[in-house]
Amino acid sequence: LPRLTAGLADLHAAGYQVMLRNSGGLAVVADPGVLNVSLFLPATRERYPITAAYQLMVDYVQAVWPQLNITTGEITRSYCPGDYDLSIAGRKIAGMSQRRTAEALVIMLYVSVDGDQMARSQLIQRFYQVSLAGHHDARFPDVDPQVMTTVADALAAPTDTTATQARFIAILAQHGTVDTTSLPLVTEEPEFQAHLNQAYQQMQRRQQRLHH
């Protein structure tokens, strides 16, 4: 982006913090109405090819909202468009990305549960307009705020991220045991803390790229 610094300043002026993430490729918005869900799988690439891993998350989301006709396919003028965008009647509600190692993978989902999706889309639309400064670059979407929506709007009923999180956990519990005690214990172990500290330092170095 030729005027990235100006685009970032515009986001800061709108009250947003900016972080360069380690998966996916384009800008997304995270606020109290957006839920992030990650599935970590100890599995080889052969067991879960890219499409199969994405489909696992798709099946999960469809089970959370069986009353909604959720489809997959790129919504080209959404922000961060991709082949596995999740949409309802042509309007995107969620996007996904993956991160892989030789023996494990994580599928990451953001879903716009409620809140002002029009304002989110307009924010990213303006970010690209400011950052591109009149240049055309096919790598970045020409965001149309009309092609995105929220789950609450699609349901025509109130819902929020707390209720949605509970629903995701309930669906997962139908396919196995939900253990909410082991992970907090593991995260206190010295080996985990060492890995966490290393990953945090890598994240800090990644953020510096935004300002150079």
Following DSSP, what letter does each residue of 78-119 receive, concatenated?
SSS--TT-EEETTEEEEEEEEEE-SS-EEEEEEEE-SS-HHH
In whole angstroms, what is the distance from residue 79 CA to residue 182 CA?
A: 36
Q: Which of 70, 80, 86, 94 is catalytic?
A: 80
Give residue-wise pLDDT tens across range 121-133: 999 999 999 999 9
pLDDT single digits (tens) 141-179: 999 999 999 999 999 999 999 999 999 999 999 988 999
Instruction: Provide the residue count of the chain.
Output: 212
The model's pLDDT over 38-97, given as tens digits with 9 standing for 90+, comes to: 999 998 878 889 999 999 999 999 999 999 999 999 999 999 999 999 999 999 999 999
Q: Is the pLDDT of residue 196 over 90?
A: yes
Is residue 80 among the annotated active site residues? yes
CATH code of the domain made up of 4-178: 3.30.930.10
**Spans of all domains in the chain:** 4-178, 180-212
Report if pTM > 0.85.
yes
- pLDDT at residue 161, rounded to an integer: 98
Q: Is the pLDDT of residue 212 over 70?
A: no
- CB neighbours of residue 72 within 10 Å: 18
